[in-house]
Structure formats: structure tokens, C-alpha cells
Amino acid sequence: MKRSDDSEREKRRKRRRLLQELGEQKIPFLSPSDPGFQQLWDTSYSGLMLRRSGSLPPGLDERVQSALSTLRDRGCLLRDLVRVRERDVFTAVSRALVGQPGCTYRYLDTRLFTIPWHCEEDEGLGRNEGHGDKPCCDAGLRAACKALWELNQFFCSDVQQHQNARASKRKRSEAEEEEGEEKAKSEGCSEDRTCEEKEERKAGEDSDSGQGCSRSSPHSSKSGPIRFNITLINYMDPASMSQLKEEPYYGMGKMAVGWHHDENLVPLSPVAVYSYSCPRETKTEAVKPAEEKEGQTSNEGEKGDEEGGSREEEEEAGDEGTSKEEGEKEKACWRVGLKVAWDIHTPGLALPLQSGDCYYMTDDLNRTHQHCVLAGDTARFSSTHRVAQCITGTLEYIQKRCSEALENLHTDPETGAKSLRSLLLSTLQHIEDIHNEVEFEWLRQYWFQGRRYARFCSWWSKPMERLETDWKQMERMTELLLAVVEDESNVQENRQEMAETLLNALSDRQQHRQTWRDRCQSSLAQTLPPEEAPVDRPYWTSDDPEMPLPFDLSDIISRVESLLWRM
């Protein structure tokens, strides 16, 4: 908590300084119709790679596009109620997470849970966790997720090829530098492009094609094959958005997603994006979770609330007569914007995306640069494939943690009486940490997003029930610890340390429960229809016979505090 607050403050300071330095001016940015565009791309944005539409295997475009429409029409795409700089805001885009079963992705204090994708070798995993053979979603949704999985497979190998090609190109030019240029020419690579294509083909033959449903941990770009484990789907129809923010630094236009780095990815792992601008939707029952209100929509960027002007002409626009026209055409298009992080000297880059285009962010582009999405005229989907850092983000992980904690709970086989096996300080600390983790990172995150998951996919329902059962046992364990600490006749020599450990855990718990209650009761949350509204769960009243401790811990906290004073 503390550390991230500090870095937030530091960022805010940096941002303010940059905006001050900039004053009313805009930083130039280049589009394809501007002279110097390609050179800027090559020099300052070389980790960005574009695959024009038509690059996918036959039939896949159609399957993916129909999958995306299915997700929208089923109501799976929803605006997230995220936290940006301690404020609750709806994302401007509607989203869904599709990916490896049991995987989650955390962004802007929100943990999204995957709708599992299904692949041939792996039918079992697509089944309902804990429901035997019953599938977790209906055939239409399953087919949609499978198409996205196929797209994922394509991206895994295509990005790999591209990266291998870049690596060998780099090696080659190093070698060339050493050996002088004569020899390289004799190999017949007169044109760089041909050479690169040759390398790509070769790299493709070498590259691992067996990725896929492997559940082993994903690798970064530098080691081993690329395994995108999730895709975050975005959708927005600008016609239904009354007020998108203007891009503030460059005057690039209206933003659907503000400037940001993608969070929680394996370091140096690439991101692959499929862009689909679709014909305008005619149905009115479209997903529209909340009325938009003044200042309640976020473009989630790192941009401050300070709004710059919105001068639309680019300073560095070319002087050809066609340039302005082309510029206008480009603005009707959806575009991805890129900038070097914390830099107001390098021009920005705005890359228009036709429907079916894909782009890759490779190397350290996501770390050294920020990107944003600039809204075009039509509705548009994107499927953004990532290697999520999921060491602490899988169901398997949290289930294992819960078992670890519960190992310390002993039940007397005769009497059924419960007790703690070990009172070792580090063990107690570990258990209380897990207790908080499962409550705040899993249960409350899940229920905060309402009943949205269970509506169309039941994959998470049983696991969440089981996690809640485990968590309830941990409430019992905290009660047992409290009893030990409060037992004056207890001669435990580390009773004071135990009390301190308990107090810390309880204070954290109390504070986080309050934060989640506030998030659930925020005025924005109130605007959501019942089936999407946040649920403050677990919640119970003090007369609940099933619950050993009260929801509100303030009395217990005071008891432990005063006990510590008396020690």
C-alpha cells in the first residue's frame, strides 16, 4: 500500500513538471502521411511491429470477428469499475478476459477472471471445475473462446518468428560490423526487406510449434517460446460515448484508452493485438451497463486531470496538398498512439489501424513507452494477447496457499474440538497473510464484479465457493489465535509478539474491508443494474451463528490494543 502511494505521488509530481514545462504547447506527433514517419518508427519505436490485415490463416479472421460479436451480444463485455488514483471510475471501453482456465489478470486494482478458452488437446480443462463433465458455457460461447484461442496460437508463433528474425538480424549486423560490409553483400541480400523475410521464414521453421495448452509457467521473450496466456478483449462504440477525453500532450484526438503501460506482464514479454472495426451495431439491447455522467469515465491513462487544449492540426504536418486530407482520413480510423515515457522531446507516433490489422509490442517497448488508443468513427473491438504475470494469480496458486494455512488447524478426532497446531510466530503471520490474500485478492475481487461471470460461464462458481469455505476456516483460526492471546493464564512467552502479529493482521483486514465496502457503495456502483452491481461478500451480521468473528473488527482491535498496553 505505502510503496504504491509513494510512487503514485512521485508520478503525479513528474507529470505536473512535464505539463508545466510544456505549457500550452503541444508536442509534435507523426502519422503515416507525414515525412519522417518511417524514420521515427525505426529509430524511436522499433519494438512496434504491424501486420496488415489478411495475415491470419484462412478463415480465422471470420471466426475471430464472429467470436468478438458473440461476446458482445451475450453481454460478456462490460465496463470495469476500476480505481485510478484512489478514485472509482468506469473504463470507457467494455472488457472481458478470455484465457487459460483458472488464470486471472490484475489491472487498476481489479482482478479479472478468465472465461476459459478451449483447445483440442485440452477439452478437460474447459470443463466446469468441480462439475464433472458438464461444460461451463454453452456451445456458442465455447466456439467463440476457441476462435480466440486459435488466434492466440497464431500470435504465439508469429510473434516468435518476428522476434527470432529481429534477433538474427541484430546478430548479423553485429557480425557485419566486425567483418566489414563486403562479405554480407556477397550473400545476395541486396535488400534488407528480402533478407528479413528470409530470416522470418527460417525462424518459423525453427520455432517451437508445440505451445498451446501447456500450463507450465510462461516465459519472457528472451527465453523459450512465447506463451500468451490471456487476451483482454476491448470494445467501444464511440457513438454511445458522450464525452471522450482529448489526448492532452500531442493533440492526437479523442482517446478510448488513455496513456498507459500494460500492467502485470512477464518482464519483456510481447503483447499482440488484433483490431476489428465493425459495422455499426443496430440492435439497441446492446451492452450499456451504466449511464455516463460527468467526469465518471476513465481513460485510465497516467494523464492527470489537467486538461490540455485540443488543437487539432499537427505542427509538423507535411506540406503536400494531400497531407491534410489524409490526416483527416486517418482520424476517422482507429489509431494506436505511442510515446516515449516521460519524454516531451521525441515526437509521438500515431498508427492508423484498418479492420483486421494486428500490431505487436515487442522487446522493452511496453516498459520504455506508453500507448493509448484513439477512437475512430466506428465501433471497434481489440483482442490484446499477453503473457500475464500469474505467479500469484492462478486458482491453483491460491488453492495451494489455502491448504497451507489450513494445515495448522487441528481437529480433535474424539471431541471435534479445534486448535492451532503451531504457535510459531512466522507460521501465525503466514496464515493471517493468506487469510487476507484470499479475502481481498480473490473473494472480494470476484464478488465486486457482481454476478457477471456466473451469468454466462460457471467455471468460477464452484472454486469460489470452495475458497469461501476455506476462508471461513481461517476466520475460525483467527478466533483461536485471539483466544490464545487473550488467555491471561497462558504462559506462552511470546504472547506479546503474537498479539502484535494479530493486531497488524486485524488492522489491515479492517481497513481493507472498509475500502471494499466504500467501493461497493460508491455512487457509480449504484448506477449498475442488479446483475452487474458489486456484491459486498463475504458480509454477515454479528448474530450469524456460522461466523466465529464479527465482520466489523473494531471491538476486537481495541481489545488487543489495550491488552498490549497492559503487557
Ligand X SMILES: O=C(O)CCC(=O)C(=O)O
CA distance 125 to 136: 10
What is the residue type of 259? W
What is the residue type of 288? K
With binding defined as CB under 6 A, does residue 373 bind ligand X?
A: yes
Nearer to ligand X, 31 or 478 (CB): 31
Strands 87-99 and 297-298: parallel
Kindly state the cell numbers that stand for 440: 481481498
Question: Could you say which of 82, 232, 272, 474 contacts ligand X (CB under 6 A)?
Answer: 232
The count of chain residues that interact with Fe ion, using the rule CB under 5 A, is 1
Question: Could you say which of 78, 145, 273, 560 contacts ligand X (CB under 6 A)?
Answer: 273
With binding defined as CB under 6 A, does residue 371 bind ligand X?
A: yes
Nearer to Fe ion, 371 or 435 (CB): 371
Which of the stretches 173-181, 257-265, 297-305, 473-481 binds Fe ion when contact is defined by CB under 5 A? Answer: 257-265
CB 65 → ligand X: shortest distance, Å? 15
Kindly state the cell numbers that stand for 96: 472481458
What does 232 interact with, of Fe ion, ligand X, none (CB < 5 to 8 A by kind)?
Answer: ligand X
Residues 85-114 binding ligand X (CB under 6 A) are none
Kindly state the cell numbers that stand for 554: 473494531
Question: Could you say which of 257, 265, 365, 379 contacts ligand X (CB under 6 A)?
Answer: 257
With binding defined as CB under 6 A, does residue 560 bind ligand X?
A: no
CB 90 → ligand X: shortest distance, Å? 15
**3-state helix vs strand vs coil in the chain, percent to 5:** 45, 20, 40
CB 566 → Fe ion: shortest distance, Å? 54
CA distance 484 to 496: 11
With binding defined as CB under 6 A, does residue 336 bind ligand X?
A: yes
With binding defined as CB under 6 A, does residue 82 bind ligand X?
A: no
Closest CA to 248 of 310, 341, 330: 310
Neighbours of 189 (CB within 10 A): 15
Kindly state the cell numbers that stand for 243: 464525452
List phi, psi (to 5°) of 390.
Answer: -120, 30
CB 29 → ligand X: shortest distance, Å? 17
Closest CA to 385 of 260, 275, 225, 222: 275
Residues 376-415 binding ligand X (CB under 6 A) are 382, 384
The length of the chain, given as a count of residues: 567
What does 273 interact with, of ligand X, Fe ion, none (CB < 5 to 8 A by kind)?
Answer: ligand X
Three-state DSSP class for residue 45: coil
Contact code string over 209-248 relative to Fe ion, x by CB under 5 A? ----------------------------------------
With binding defined as CB under 6 A, does residue 262 bind ligand X?
A: yes
Cα 280 versus chain centre, distance:
27
Which of the stretches 65-73, 105-113, 127-135, 259-267 binds Fe ion when contact is defined by CB under 5 A? Answer: 259-267
What does 373 interact with, of Fe ion, ligand X, none (CB < 5 to 8 A by kind)?
Answer: ligand X
The count of chain residues that interact with ligand X, using the rule CB under 6 A, is 11
With binding defined as CB under 5 A, does residue 262 bind Fe ion?
A: yes
What does 394 interact with, of ligand X, Fe ion, none (CB < 5 to 8 A by kind)?
Answer: none
Distances (CA, A) of 395 to 105, 114, 390, 392, 453: 12, 11, 10, 9, 15
DSSP 84: E
Nearer to Fe ion, 264 or 510 (CB): 264
CB 336 → ligand X: shortest distance, Å? 5
Strands 115-116 and 87-99: parallel
Residue appearing with cell numbers 473491438: 381
CB 271 → ligand X: shortest distance, Å? 8
Closest CA to 474 of 405, 546, 539, 422: 405
Nearer to ligand X, 360 or 471 (CB): 360
CB 95 → Fe ion: shortest distance, Å? 11
CB 262 → Fe ion: shortest distance, Å? 4
Closest CA to 274 of 157, 144, 143, 148: 148
Bridge partners (DSSP) listed for residue 82: 89
Contact footprint for ligand X (CB under 6 A): 232, 234, 257, 262, 273, 275, 336, 371, 373, 382, 384
Contact footprint for Fe ion (CB under 5 A): 262
